[in-house]
Amino acid sequence: MVTFAAPLWIGGAAALSLLVVALHLLARRRPRPLIYPTARFLPDQPASAPAAARRPSDLLLLLLRVAIILLIGAAFARPLRAPPRRTAHLVLIDRSRAAPRILDDSVRALVRQASLVIAFDTTGREVPEATDAGDIIRSSPRGSLSAALLAAVRRAPTLAAEGDSLALHVVSPFAVEEWDEATLAIRRLWSGRIDLHVVEPAAPAIRPDGGSSLRADDPLGATLGLIGRESQAGARVVRSVPIAADSNWATAGGALVYWPRVPVEAPWATLGRDTVGGVFSGGQVVVAPFTRVVRPPEGVVIARWADGTAAATERPLGTGCERDVAIPTDMAGDVMLRPGMLALVRALTAPCGGRRDFVRVADALLDSLRGPSMLVAASQLARPVTGKVPANGWYLAAAFLLLAGEPLVRRGRR
């Protein structure tokens, strides 16, 4: 069913069409010629005169003109396809590391009937149509319910034409690590109900034992000893260039931390020797006169010097990762034993992707997430600025096509 965003144009075009019809019937007509030798005895009058036609003539020309006007009016009236009387379904499906690899049939059925499916981890991405729920590849990043809800709020207006109301479904284990302080605030942007489909979280990853073996006189060994073995579980700290066994271990999911005893001995780009006043990572700051001599290889920066340059980087390696740390450890004094340094080392030896917490959030939070019982009406959604434009372009094209043919028809009628 087609409706119009500016129906006044249709009314105007209809009125103009009536005027054209009236003018067509009352138009100045040039009568048919008649050879008449004594024409000079007729009074000198204009060869055409306004006259009301008893029967409309040139019907094709009249229809052509009326069609041109109506098409132009329809084009400016911005025709829209009215939304059908049904509920559109928007499904947010969790693909983060907390989500299970296998989804049950109810989730698959939900995905099949959905108008739009958005798979989310740290961001939400639209899933192409006709994609089965089982084909949505799980990713390793941590999930974010806030990002998922934002994606739903942004994409919902595009579904306004799909139905008169919109249902939002979230399929997720709702793990603690996916929840942040903005989640409820973002949820309030969605004025209707959210159907939560709680699935079992993924099984915790088997974290291989790092087996870091440092010499007794190694200052880093003392630091690791202070932060405890549990905190560094899943990480292997090596002080020399990693060997194949280390890489294989990291590929299996471990966090391989290459932290050379003397950074300058690492096969990295060297810098001019200088001193920086501190290093920070993950909110932990250590202030000390560090001597910077090398630059870690390219990767995701996980620690920075005080001037913002990279002090440690991380690169994915299989299902695990490799970290290269260019922070010297042969510091004078108790720098390596300070609480800040302990926290820094704890962050640098954390599992790849950060620490995991797949425990479901509290039921009270889930109730807050569900919200009211009403669905969102499509009329409450803002019209999409972009997207499929109504057919006014076609109307205009048809109007111009007829307009081009009008002189030909008019000439042929003479």
Partner 1 sequence: MPLHPSFGPLLDALVGVTWPARRSSGTGAAGSHPSRLRGLTAEFTEYRPYRQGDDARRLDWKLLARTDRAFLRITDDHAIRPTLLLLDASASLAFPETTHAKWIQACRLAVGLAAVARSDGDPVGLIIPGPDGVLRLAPRAHRLAIADIARTLNDTSPAGSASLVAGMEGLRPGSRLVIISDFLAEEAALLARARELIVTGVEVFALHVIAEEERVPPDVTRLAVDPESPLRRPLHDEVRDHYMTTYATWRSALAESWRRAGAEYTEVRAEEDAAPVIRRLVRGTAVVEKRW
Residues of the shown chain interacting with partner 1 in the complex, contacts defined by CB under 8 A: 30-49
The minimum distance between CB 35 and partner 1, in angstroms, equals 5
Cβ-based neighbours of 177, under 8 Å, separated by 6 or more: 98, 142, 143, 354, 355, 356, 357, 358
Q: For partner 1, which is the closer residue by CB, 39 or 203?
A: 39
Spatial separation of the C-alpha atoms in residues 368 and 360, rounded to whole Å: 14
Q: For partner 1, which is the closer residue by CB, 28 or 154?
A: 28
Q: For partner 1, which is the closer residue by CB, 44 or 105?
A: 44
The three-class DSSP label of residue 326 is coil
Residue 10 structure tokens: 């249709």
Q: Quickly tell me which residue has 């096969």 as its tokens.
A: 267
Q: For partner 1, which is the closer residue by CB, 32 or 55?
A: 32
Cα-Cα end-to-end distance for the chain: 41
* Cβ proximity of 255 and 321 under 8 Å: yes
The minimum distance between CB 57 and partner 1, in angstroms, equals 13
The minimum distance between CB 48 and partner 1, in angstroms, equals 8
The minimum distance between CB 53 and partner 1, in angstroms, equals 11
Q: For partner 1, which is the closer residue by CB, 43 or 267?
A: 43
Query: How far is the CA of 93 from the CAs of 109, 111, 226, in angstroms?
Result: 13, 9, 41
Q: For partner 1, which is the closer residue by CB, 154 or 413?
A: 413
The minimum distance between CB 50 and partner 1, in angstroms, equals 12
Residue 51 structure tokens: 């006259």
Residue 76 structure tokens: 């400016």
Query: How far is the CA of 135 from the CAs of 179, 201, 379, in angstroms?
Result: 25, 18, 33
Spatial separation of the C-alpha atoms in residues 401 and 398, rounded to whole Å: 5
The minimum distance between CB 29 and partner 1, in angstroms, equals 9
Q: For partner 1, which is the closer residue by CB, 42 or 137?
A: 42
385: DSSP letter: S
The minimum distance between CB 65 and partner 1, in angstroms, equals 24
Q: For partner 1, which is the closer residue by CB, 51 or 408?
A: 51
The minimum distance between CB 413 and partner 1, in angstroms, equals 16
Q: Quickly tell me which residue has 């006709």 as its tokens.
A: 130
Task: Concatenate the DSSP letters of all residues of 99-149 into one string.
Answer: S-SS--HHHHHHHHH-SEEEEESSSEEEEPTT--GGGS---SSPP-HHHHH
